[in-house]
């Protein structure tokens, strides 16, 4: 039904990828791997989406990266259709049956590491190194399980991932005293996976 409405299976997959991962940019070959479509079809649809301003591109290190344009006039309603919940496509909870999530990511489950109050991607994931980390977690987690989760994520992403974890009380205290690390993290470009208590809402840096 949605494919008929939007005219192309590849286009629908791209919209699921981009709106499901706001603040995250992808290069062409990464996109083709994630949505399992031919590169020529992907390039054609990327060109179409660029022409109407729905996505934007940027050249970094001789690679062209694409991400959703959050200033696009119809961003909000399209996010309702294609964005799903706050969990990124690469680390959705396993109970989410979204068939567009790549197979290699379906085994990843944030619940496996313990009670997570906040989880976000930044750094390499959003091409903003100001925070100094790529994956940040607040909650009561099992460190062995977290290390295993990060190891699986590293295999899926084919990159070394820097991560940090702290308790909610430690986070609130360090935010209150304007700790340098927390201030940089909050100011960085990030993709929120989980924010159970609205910890990032109304945050002043």
How far apart CA 81 and CA 103 sit, in angstroms, is 22
Q: Are strands 135-141 and 163-166 parallel, antiparallel or unpaired?
A: parallel
Give the model's pLDDT for residue 45. Answer: 95
Query: Quick check: 93 pLDDT over 80?
Result: no
Structural fold of domain 2-83: Arc Repressor Mutant, subunit A (1.10.10)
Nearest to 204 by CA among 180, 181, 183: 183
pLDDT of residue 84: 57
The answer to whether the CB of 199 falls within 8 A of the CB of 193 is no
CA angle 124, 125, 126 (to 5 degrees): 95
Q: What does the pLDDT look like over 46-92, one tens digit per residue?
A: 999 999 999 999 988 888 999 999 999 999 899 888 875 444 434 44
Using an 8 Å Cβ cutoff, are 23 and 62 in contact?
Answer: no
**22 band by pLDDT with thresholds 50, 70 and 90:** confident
Q: Residue 188 has what DSSP assignment?
A: S
């Amino acid at each position: 039904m949605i494919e008929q409405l939007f005219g192309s299976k590849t286009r629908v997959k791209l919209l699921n990828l981009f709106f499901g991962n706001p603040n995250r940019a992808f290069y062409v070959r990464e996109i083709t791997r994630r949505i399992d479509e031919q590169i020529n079809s992907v390039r054609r649809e990327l060109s179409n989406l660029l022409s109407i301003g729905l996505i934007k591109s940027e050249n970094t290190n001789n690679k062209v990266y694409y991400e959703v344009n959050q200033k696009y006039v119809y961003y909000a309603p399209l996010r309702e259709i294609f964005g799903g919940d706050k969990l990124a496509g690469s680390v959705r909870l396993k109970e989410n049956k979204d068939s567009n999530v790549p197979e290699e990511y379906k085994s990843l489950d944030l619940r496996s590491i313990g009670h997570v109050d906040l989880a976000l991607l930044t750094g390499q994931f959003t091409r903003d190194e100001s925070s100094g980390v790529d994956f940040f977690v607040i909650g009561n987690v099992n460190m062995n399980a977290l290390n295993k989760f990060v190891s699986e994520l590293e295999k899926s992403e084919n990159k070394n991932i820097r991560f940090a974890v702290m308790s909610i009380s430690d986070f609130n205290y360090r935010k209150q005293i304007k700790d340098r690390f927390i201030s940089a993290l909050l100011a960085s470009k990030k993709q929120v996976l989980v924010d159970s208590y609205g910890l990032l809402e109304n945050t002043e840096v």
